[in-house]
Amino acid sequence: MSATAAPPRVTIHDVARHAGVSHQTVSRVLNEHPSVAPTTRHRVLEAIQVLRYHPNLAARSLVTQRSGTLGIVGHGLPHYGPAQMMVNIEQAARSRGYSVTLASIPELREVEIERAIMELRRQNVDGMILITNLLGVDITRIQRLCGTVPFVLVDLPDSGTAAGATIDQEAGARLAAEHLIALGHERIALLLGPQRWHDARLRLDGWHSALKRANLSPVATLEGDWSAASGFGLTQELLAGRVPFTALLVSNDQMALGALWALHERGISVPDDVSIVGFDDIPESRFFHPPLTTVRQDFAALGALSLAALVKAIEEPDVPATPAVIQPELIVRASSARARS
């Protein structure tokens, strides 16, 4: 009894015949070439889906002298924001036919970033995306380490030739503070994320900017570590110090969750006695008690735009980089209300 023959492999020529175009046009679509008309691109992509065509990456690698692999340098993956960045970048990469390898950084230090870059270079990646968030990162040093390998920095503005995509953290923080100010709150305490993180520092800058414009100063400023436990502990510290406050601006939703529990334990009502605004809009935040007012970040757009910037740097190295800035959105829920007179 003979074994069942394997189905013939779908080729780029099969896709071309199905779409009614040349195989060169299919190749341009696969390589994201801008010269293809949108209607033609749609027909080719539809044919690829119908025929379940998978590019021969090994053959393409021989022609292009590329590995088809991108490297991601990441830190803080247990936290929601960095994890979402990584997941969405990986999905965007795979949709463009690239595989992904991750170099995780155990500590947010330049020496660890440098070690991760060299590890990825040894794997001959075509390009690198750095999700490092270290305040004051030395871009010139990173450029030297990357050599001829293109790279982009995620969520790090003012990165020059390494421009990828960024979410405007400072603008998001201003939205949060302006929301509380508009509700009549004047005694606002700040629960910060770790200040060696670039995003945490920008959120603090945004809060300060909005408060200063309203001729207000925070009644207290305490630094945490992104965890719910730190939000709980910092709020306990505020209450023990008898600092009068009617609202909390919190650097992320997990810390806001801890703050909610600390207030609940003391019999303090949210939002009747204290209003709280977080940052990130994690999926669970609308199920907090009460549902959390927060700032939403579009991580899917961040991943897609960062990946697009890297692919452009790989395929069009002489074209200047243009950073993409994504605006966050204030999501108003039940944890914030008008201040009591």
- What is the model's pLDDT at position 2? 47
Angle at 216 (CA atoms; ends 214, 222), nearest 5 degrees: 130
- What is the model's pLDDT at position 58? 47
Residue pLDDT, tens place only, 111-150 = 888 889 999 998 889 999 988 777 767 778 888 888 889 9
Buried b (16+ CB within 10 A) or exposed e, 314-323: bbeeeeebeb
- What is the model's pLDDT at position 338? 97
Give the span between the Cα atoms of 277 and 248, in whole angstroms.
6
- What is the model's pLDDT at position 61? 47
Mean pLDDT of the chain: 87
**What type of residue is 166?**
T
Give the span between the Cα atoms of 30 and 38, in whole angstroms.
13
- What is the model's pLDDT at position 32? 59
- What is the model's pLDDT at position 137? 72
* E strand map for 132-223: 151-153, 165-167, 188-192, 220-223
β-pair type (324-326, 294-296)? unpaired
For the chain, residues with pLDDT lower than 50 are: 1-2, 58, 61-64
- What is the model's pLDDT at position 56? 60
